[in-house]
Amino acid sequence: MNESDRIRALRAQGKIDDDQAARLLEALGELDSIDPPGAGAGRGGHEPGSDGPSGAASERPGVAAAAPSGTADGGAETRTDASRPDRARPDDAGILPRATDATVTRWVVIDLLAGDVDVRVDPEIDRPELAEAGEGVALEEADDGWRIRQVGRGADGWLDRLIDGVTRHVRLRLAVPSGCGVRLAMKAGDVDLHDVPAVAGTLLAGDVEVRGARAVDLEVRAGDVDVELDPAPGLHRLFLTVGDADLRLPTNSDVAVHARVSIGDARADPPLRADGGGIGGTIEGTIGSGEGARVEIGVKTGDLSVKVG
């Protein structure tokens, strides 16, 4: 019995419900899609939540790895992958540091197999506080801040741990201090971030809503992404494999935007320019001088909208 059959069997036995089965199959499909050629057992020898190939972005240049261990992401390297048609490729992007690196020095890494996450900033605290976490969630010190992870129940295989995480369905409500960023290392779930200055990392399956961010370096494999960004100087990146992306920028921004959609529509407010539609498109242009910040967006299958104001 393969993993998909096992999930369907658990649903037939009533051990998981329709929503849980759908989440598991969606996450499983995303993990399958990123197996490297010739990967061995255990999906390339890396468990979900590790920083190996199953971490979704760690093996691809131009995408920040999720860094579940709580370490800083990979510095100011900003190469993009010329083989990916959904990657925006401004020629001079390599000279810019990642805005996330310059915006915050402390991070909370959220390393979950499955769960819904709500994060808000509390200027009165000096370390993260869990308002709601559920069973089996631990907050730990890390080199550059803190790490939140699910503590397993002794299940042996990665699928056992994923099933355990989904069936428990963690609901995480978290308060973080001012000046602290959030880095995602999640397989499945919905994420809401409010006034968090920097957002980075990966989510395999789920929706992300970001409000009041100053820096973003994020990849979502399947889901919808809605980001409100007041871009700090540096390079910002948003990559989406399947789903719709919406980005809002202030009218007083100083930013250059370079975006590409492989299959879907691209729409933008002036002064940005959108070309193409249906089978792909691009968005190019600047707000202000365009010298302060640069935003790269890549959507493989889905629609992209960039609003100004």
Please tell me the predicted confidence (pLDDT) of residue 285.
97
Which strand ranges, in their side-by-side order, compose the sheet holding 170-176?
Answer: 129-132, 170-176, 115-121, 191-194, 208-213, 225-229, 245-249, 304-308, 266-268
Tabulate helix, strand, coil % of the chain (nearest 5).
Answer: 15, 40, 40
Is the pTM higher than 0.85? The answer reads no
Please tell me the predicted confidence (pLDDT) of residue 273.
96
Average pLDDT over residues 71-92: 38
Please tell me the predicted confidence (pLDDT) of residue 163.
59
> In the numeric block, which tokens belong to residue 186?
């999640």
- Does 35 score more than 60 pLDDT? no
Whether 63 and 200 have beta carbons less than 8 Å apart is answered as: no
- Scan for tokens 């000096």, then name that residue: 126
Share of the chain above pLDDT 90, in %: 51
Per residue in 106-133, pLDDT (tens digit) is 999 999 888 899 999 999 999 999 987 7
Per residue in 185-212, pLDDT (tens digit) is 998 889 999 999 999 999 999 999 999 9
Phi, psi for 236 (deg, rounded to 5): -115, 140
Average pLDDT over residues 130-148: 87
Average pLDDT over residues 294-301: 96
Please name which of 217, 219, 228, 241 lies closest in space to residue 294, comparing C-alpha atoms.
217
Cα 277 to Cα 86: distance, rounded to the nearest angstrom: 14
Please tell me the predicted confidence (pLDDT) of residue 132.
77
What is the rounded average pLDDT for all residues in the chain?
A: 77
Model confidence at 159, pLDDT cuts 50, 70, 90, reads low
Please tell me the predicted confidence (pLDDT) of residue 9.
74
Please tell me the predicted confidence (pLDDT) of residue 5.
74
- Which range, of 114-123, 150-159, 279-288, averages the lowest pLDDT? 150-159
Determine how many CB atoms are found less than 10 A away from the CB of residue 97: 14
Please tell me the predicted confidence (pLDDT) of residue 108.
97
- Does 92 score more than 70 pLDDT? no
164 vs 47, residue with greater confidence: 164
Cα 14 to Cα 66: distance, rounded to the nearest angstrom: 34
Q: Could you tell me where the DSSP H helices lie in the chain? A: 3-12, 18-33, 41-45, 99-103, 158-168
Cα 62 to Cα 239: distance, rounded to the nearest angstrom: 10
Please tell me the predicted confidence (pLDDT) of residue 7.
73
Average pLDDT over residues 126-150: 88
Average pLDDT over residues 244-263: 96
Residues with Cβ within 8 Å of residue 149, at least 6 apart in sequence: 49, 68, 111, 112, 137, 138, 140
- Which range, of 63-72, 224-233, 281-290, averages the lowest pLDDT? 63-72
- Which range, of 22-26, 74-78, 149-153, 228-232, averages the lowest pLDDT? 74-78
Average pLDDT over residues 134-155: 81
52 vs 254, residue with greater confidence: 254
124 vs 56, residue with greater confidence: 124
